[in-house]
C-alpha cells in the first residue's frame, strides 16, 4: 500500500513532465531556436533533439499495437521507444557535447539502454498475444 501511495503521489509530477515534453523548445528554454545561428552546432543539436523527441513521443503513443489493457505489455511497448530516445539523445551529446563527464554518461546510457531495449523487445516477442486469424494446424 505504501508503494502504491508513493507511485500515485508521483503521478502529478509525471503528468506535469508529460505536459512539459509537449511544449516547444522555446517554451522550456526561454530562447527560440530562431535565435541560434543557422547551421551552428547548437542549432543542429537542437534540431536533432526536437526530432528525437517527436519520434520518441510518436513511438510511445503507438505502443507497437499493444492493447492498452495489457499493463505489462504497455510498459514494455512504451519504454522501448523512450529508451531509444535516450540512446539517440546520448548520441547527439557525443557528437556535439564537450564535457568529458557528460560524454562518459552518454556512452553509459547508450550501452545500458540498448541492452534494456533488447530485453523489452524480447519480452514483447515472447508474450505476443496469439492471433485469431491463424488457421489451426490439422492433426493426423
Residue range 16-55, pLDDT digits in tens: 344 444 444 444 444 567 688 999 999 999 999 999 999 9
Q: Which domain holds residue 99?
A: 39-127
Q: Say whether pLDDT at 57 is over 50.
A: yes
Residue 44 domain-assigned (yes or no): yes
Q: How far apart are CA 126 and CA 57, in angstroms?
A: 25
pLDDT value at position 120?
Answer: 96
Residue 10 domain-assigned (yes or no): no
Residue 97 domain-assigned (yes or no): yes
pLDDT value at position 128?
Answer: 81
Residue 25 domain-assigned (yes or no): no
The shares of helix, strand and coil residues in the chain, as percent rounded to the nearest 5, are 75, 0, 25
Residue 50 domain-assigned (yes or no): yes
- CA distances from residue 6 to 3, 9, 14 in whole angstroms, order as listed: 5, 5, 12
pTM of the model: 0.69
Q: How far apart are CA 24 and CA 46, in angstroms?
A: 11
Helix (H) or strand (E) holding 21: helix 2-21
Amino acid at each position: 500500500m505504501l508503494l502504491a501511495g508513493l507511485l500515485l503521489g508521483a503521478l502529478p509530477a509525471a503528468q506535469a513532465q508529460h505536459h512539459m515534453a509537449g511544449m516547444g523548445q522555446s517554451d522550456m528554454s526561454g530562447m527560440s531556436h530562431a535565435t541560434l545561428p543557422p547551421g551552428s552546432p547548437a542549432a543542429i543539436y537542437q534540431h536533432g533533439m526536437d526530432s528525437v523527441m517527436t519520434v520518441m513521443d510518436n513511438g510511445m503513443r503507438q505502443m507497437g499495437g499493444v492493447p492498452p489493457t495489457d499493463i505489462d505489455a504497455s510498459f514494455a511497448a512504451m519504454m522501448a521507444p523512450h529508451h531509444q530516445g535516450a540512446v539517440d539523445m546520448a548520441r547527439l551529446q557525443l557528437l556535439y557535447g564537450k564535457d568529458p563527464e557528460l560524454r562518459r554518461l552518454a556512452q553509459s546510457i547508450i550501452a545500458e539502454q540498448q541492452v534494456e531495449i533488447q530485453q523489452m523487445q524480447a519480452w514483447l516477442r515472447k508474450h505476443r498475444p496469439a492471433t485469431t486469424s491463424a488457421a489451426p494446424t490439422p492433426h493426423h
